[in-house]
């Protein structure tokens, strides 16, 4: 059997689709080394590292993927701190980031400058300093909220790689994004309409790539799963995913953790969960405006229908909403002439 470093599992999906919760369900499986946060590799390190030198790429990964993602304000650890489960000081000490960075630099010093080697070296370094037993590892798991964009290319880097792509009803997805407007997304987007456009662009691309990637790589390597189905029957779907990956079904797959620490969830409404929850499934009618729903269905309705999401607006409503949205989009950052 090949080394665990040659058997990655990449967790794909747009932000706020449940990917962090799914990552945390795999966190302490004894046969899988799981990087405990959104690594940011596929939007902050790759593809820039293709044009940067080796040393620049190493320092870029250290800054973003190790120092920031594993820091107290990072993806998962920051939520433990925000929830009150860890103090900022405890969050700071949760991972030995200097040791992980030093080990990563050492592994890359002996490796060729390729994106695959940067990932291998990162996971090897994290595995050496995460306090887990490495003797049973069969593979490793990494999550970035844009991995699906590069899945076919990544599959060439790692011929034994597998991919799990988590989808969510884009209306609920946008409702979740809106709920985090004041806490997070107003710092990323100028208006909530811009936030909607980002969903159309990014989540829409993700839904289309779910189909394309599975066709390109085959269902034996690329598994597509709806969050709603996972939340409705987590035990069965986690067992299916464990079989897909090639690891044993285990009780630890029922409880999300961050390097073994129970994780209360990544919820902007302040709700705390002990496991995967369906509490926010189907809440979009109370979280979104009718015109927003019509715009989402107008842009994403084809993929939504193929993925089993029923549309609630009429074609006329979708056409009118998309036209009104385009009036805004067409003149954004342009002069009065607009664009074609």
Q: Could you read off the pLDDT tens digit of each residue along the chain, which spans 340 residues?
A: 359 999 999 999 999 999 999 999 999 999 999 999 999 999 999 999 999 999 999 999 999 999 999 998 887 787 677 666 778 788 788 899 999 999 999 999 999 999 999 999 999 999 999 999 999 999 999 999 999 999 999 999 999 999 999 999 999 999 999 988 877 788 878 899 999 999 999 999 999 999 999 999 999 999 999 999 999 999 999 999 999 999 999 999 998 988 888 877 655 454 445 567 778 899 999 999 999 999 999 999 999 999 999 999 999 999 999 999 999 998 875 554 444 4
Provide the token pair at 316: 């006329």
pTM for this predicted structure: 0.92
Please state, in angstroms and rounded to a whole number, the distance separating the CA atoms of residues 74 and 101.
16
Cβ within 8 Å of residue 255, ≥6 positions away:
25, 262, 274, 275
What is the C-alpha radius of gyration for the chain, rounded to an integer number of angstroms?
20
Q: Delineate the domains of the chain, giving CATH numbers in brackets.
A: 4-331 (3.40.50.300)
On the CB side of 54, how many CA atoms lie within 13 Å of its CA? 14
pLDDT in the model for residue 333: 55
pLDDT on residue 337: 43
Q: What's the rounded Cα separation, in Å, for the pair 175 and 16? A: 10
């Amino acid at each position: 059997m090949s080394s665990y470093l040659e058997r990655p599992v990449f967790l794909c999906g747009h932000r706020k689709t449940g990917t962090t919760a799914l990552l945390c369900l795999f966190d302490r499986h004894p046969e899988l080394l799981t990087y405990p946060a959104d690594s940011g590799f596929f939007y902050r390190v790759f593809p820039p590292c293709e044009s940067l030198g080796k040393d620049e790429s190493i320092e870029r990964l250290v800054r973003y993927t190790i120092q920031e993602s594993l820091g107290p304000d990072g993806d998962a650890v920051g939520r433990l701190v925000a929830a009150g489960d860890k103090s900022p000081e405890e969050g700071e000490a949760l991972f030995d980031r200097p040791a992980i960075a030093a080990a990563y630099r050492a592994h890359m010093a002996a490796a060729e400058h390729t994106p695959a080697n940067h990932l291998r070296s990162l996971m090897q370094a994290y595995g050496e300093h995460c306090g887990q037993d490495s003797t049973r590892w069969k593979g490793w798991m990494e999550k970035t909220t844009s991995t699906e964009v590069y899945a076919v290319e990544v599959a060439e880097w790692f011929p034994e790689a597998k991919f799990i792509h988590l989808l969510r009803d884009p209306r609920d997805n946008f409702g979740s994004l809106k709920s985090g407007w004041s806490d997070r997304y107003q710092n990323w987007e100028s208006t909530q309409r811009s936030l909607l456009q980002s969903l159309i662009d990014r989540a829409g691309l993700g839904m289309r790539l779910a189909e394309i990637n599975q066709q390109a790589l085959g269902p034996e390597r690329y598994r597509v799963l709806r969050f709603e189905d996972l939340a409705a029957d987590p035990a069965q779907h986690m067992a299916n995913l464990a079989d897909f990956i090639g690891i044993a079904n285990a009780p630890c797959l029922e409880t999300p953790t961050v390097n073994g620490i129970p994780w209360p969830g990544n919820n902007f409404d302040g709700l705390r969960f002990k496991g995967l929850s369906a509490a926010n499934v189907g809440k979009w009618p109370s979280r979104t405006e009718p015109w927003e729903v019509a715009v989402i269905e107008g842009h994403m309705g084809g993929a939504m229908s193929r993925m089993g999401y029923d549309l609630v607006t009429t074609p006329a409503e979708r056409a009118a909403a998309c036209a009104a949205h385009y009036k805004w989009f067409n003149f954004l950052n342009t002069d009065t002439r607009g664009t074609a």
